[in-house]
Amino acid sequence: MCYSQIVPKKTKTIFIIDDNEHILKPLSTLLSSFGYLVKTTTNGKDPKITKKPFANLILLDMRLKDIGGQDVCLRIKENKETCHIPVIMFSADNRGKIISKGAGADDFIEKPFVMANLLKKIEKHIS
């Protein structure tokens, strides 16, 4: 069973999983400028993903080179140490919303996304 954890009122950590450096770097920089602590990986099989609660929210690309984003999301949501972490998946795939919901994601945003919309979704899940 997954129990929600209380997040202290301090800097929130966002973990971005995306194998595209052209998205990862600017997104990381932008979120950092809004006061978030940002961690990143380009590897969907990175062992940090399910080791322990390492973030307040995960942004996850649906299409990774090494593993499907939906498989990563399922691993996160099935792990008792990470299941409470909200996952927002993103993709340019027009079936993304349906696929992400089936993987247990908490939300979805279509690429290319408007940063203001992404920030609203982030705040919704980690406020």
Q: For residue range 56-107, what is the model confidence (pLDDT) as tens digits?
A: 999 999 988 888 899 999 999 999 989 999 999 999 888 889 999 999 999 9
Q: How confident is the model at residue 10 (pLDDT cuts 50, 70, 90)?
A: low
Computed on alpha carbons and rounded to an integer, the radius of gyration of the chain in Å comes to 13
* Per-residue model confidence (pLDDT) at position 83: 93
Please, which residues have CB within 8 angstroms of residue 122's CB and are 6 or more apart in sequence?
14, 31, 36, 57, 59, 88
Nearest to 116 by CA among 51, 34, 41, 53: 34
Q: Which domains does the chain have, with CATH numbers?
A: 13-126 (3.40.50.2300)
Question: Residue 42 and residue 21: Cα distance in Å, rounded?
Answer: 8
* Tens of pLDDT, residues 19-30: 999 989 999 999
52 secondary structure, DSSP code: S
